[in-house]
Chains A and B, each alone.
Chain A
Amino acid sequence: MNDFLFIFLSFFALLGAFGMIVLHQPVHSALSLIVTLLALAGLFALLNASFLFAVQIIVYAGAILTLFIFIIMFLNVKESNLPKEPNKTLYLFLGGIVLIPLNLLVLRAFYAMPLLREPLAEDFGEIKPLGAELFTKWLLPFELISLLLLVALIGAVVFARKDEV
């Protein structure tokens, strides 16, 4: 059952990613990316990462992608103003071919991994041990993330501000 779910979800993840880079209209690409993100969230759930499953859907698909689609509709780029991408499929195909050696290198690296199979704790990936670790060992990065979000917030507000004379 798990195996079937994995194959099903990863098929949709790859399909969505592929559709995202091939489709011309930004809105179609965004919707395709949402398919990928939801499939990946499902894979997180399969991997005992229940918190990440929820965070992926709420933050990534729910906030980031919504922001993207909002901006796309706000920009309202007309079909004729979209950059013409001549021979796009040809270039993408050529790009894929060029990247195959890199892909093979990475895959070969992955095949040769030393695998430690330790027995998993009962509540591995549950929210409680995750929280305990997040707020003890990774407390400093966690607070710095809030700083990072503040920097992004200041940046976004400053860009959008009207110039005061």
Chain B
Amino acid sequence: MIGLTHYLVLTGILFSIGLVGVMRRTNLLMLFFSTEILLNAVNIGFVAVSKFYGDLSGQMFAFFIIAVAASEVAVGLGLLILWYKRNGSVDLNSLQMMKG
């Protein structure tokens, strides 16, 4: 019998995968992808809790998180393109001008 716990376990594992991706990949595009995984993990958790409690607020929150993720991607990719045009690289290590 699949219960709430199984969905939340899926949330936890997806969240950890996203977190590993954010911390370890040096490609800026991969960084943005990993934040998408984080938000999706939270989404599936919200919808699962919403079903098992009979309350629609969870689905609402998931809907708003999707909208926020869309805007974040737009601005983030805009910044990335500006950086790439300036520096020709999407490497996290190229953000080194102000180290320390």
A and B touch in the complex (CB under 8 A): yes
Is the beta-carbon distance between A117 and B67 smaller than 8 angstroms?
no
Question: How many contacts between A and B, using CB within 8 angstroms?
Answer: 212
Q: Which residues of A contact B43 (CB under 8 A)?
A: 40, 52, 56
Is the beta-carbon distance between A125 and B51 smaller than 8 angstroms?
yes
Q: Give min CB distance, B63 to chain A, whole Å.
A: 6
- CA gap between A102 and B12 in the complex, in Å: 9
- CA gap between A99 and B59 in the complex, in Å: 28
Q: Which residues of A contact B59 (CB under 8 A)?
A: 49, 51-52, 125, 130
Known: A52-B62, A83-B93, A85-B27. A96 touches B16 (CB 8 A): yes
Contact with B12, one of A64, A110, A116, A125 (Cβ below 8 angstroms): A110
Contacts of B9-35 to chain A: CB distance below 8 A: 9-21, 23-27, 29-30, 32-34
Residues of B within 8 A of A (CB): 1-21, 23-27, 29-30, 32-34, 36-37, 40, 43-44, 47-48, 50-54, 56, 59-60, 62-64, 66-75, 77-82, 84, 88-93
